[in-house]
Amino acid sequence: MALQTTILAPGTSVRVTQQTPLRDTTWAEPIEGTVVRYRQAETGSWFAHARNDRLWLDRLEVQLADGELTVLNLDQYSVIETLS
């Protein structure tokens, strides 16, 4: 997934909609907050022929309006929008 790092800069307000495709419908859950950090992080699972024999995921840390910190694993079904 090619992400624009400018929209993922710390302090940017974003709406991230994570989608789960099902056979005949799609579940979608939007989350709004402020970007704390974007990074690629290693998982505890191994995946053959990946860097360091690990699976790496795009992770976005977002602080919600109530102060809660949440970590989102981004994939090809994640939609990221900046908020003004």
C-alpha to C-alpha distance for 3 and 66, rounded to whole angstroms: 27
Distance between alpha carbon 72 and the CA centroid of its chain, in Å? Answer: 4
Predicted TM-score (pTM) above 0.85 = no
User: How is the chain split into domains, by residue range?
Assistant: 13-82
Over residues 1-54, the pLDDT tens digits come to 445 556 789 999 999 999 988 999 999 999 999 999 999 887 766 655 666 666
Q: Count of CB atoms within 10 A of residue 62's CB?
A: 22
| Sequence-ordered alpha helix ranges (H) in the chain | none
